[in-house]
Amino acid sequence: MKRLLLLAASLIASLPLWAANPLVEIKTNQGTIVAEIFADKAPKTAANFLQYVKDGFFAGTIFHRVIDGFMIQGGGFTPDMKQKATRAPIENEAGNGLKNGAGTLSMARTSDPNSATAQFFINLVDNDPLDRSAGNPGYAVFGRVTQGFETVAKIAKQPTGNAGIFRDVPRASILIESVRLLPEKK
């Protein structure tokens, strides 16, 4: 019986991450990032993000806000800092129990908690102040980096400056070449 339990535990531990949630590949001019999208914990946010992926929306956008020791943000601006038109904003799912930990993907938004559209950010460190709490609507976590965190860290180290009204903009464009849904493995 003990051997059977050990075997079962081993099999469960070896289940791939994609068994429950989709994976996306974010290809940048700095390297590739693979992320699990938490369709199970943030269904509206995941569906919104995955629709932008399916539409090819992110191709040609940039990581336009980079703050080393905090996060990298992208998915809404072209290299000439023109904001792309988006679909309607979505409801904030920051109350899903997920935390803004290092390597997680979260939705960017304005001061309106329900204003997220396409822009997302990747936390470089644990950012507890971004989690939902009393009086703080928080930022909705909807995924996590499973491969390529070294690419995220490389992006975080790029020199930044001001571009018009925008701050913390990489001096050389960090281009998102493509974002695609990875096929389910069988």
pLDDT, tens digit only, all 186 positions of the chain: 344 333 333 333 434 444 579 999 999 999 999 999 999 999 999 999 999 999 999 999 999 999 999 999 999 999 999 999 999 999 999 999 999 999 999 999 999 999 999 999 999 999 999 999 999 999 999 999 999 999 999 999 999 999 999 999 999 999 999 999 999 765
| Residue closest to 166 by CA, chosen among 73, 57, 36 | 73
Please give the backbone phi and psi of residue 3, each rounded to the nearest 5 degrees, phi first: -60, -40
In the CATH hierarchy, which fold is given to the domain comprising 21-181?
Answer: Cyclophilin (2.40.100)
Contact (Cβ atoms closer than 8 angstroms) between residue 136 and residue 124: no
Residue type, 156: A
Prediction pTM value: 0.89
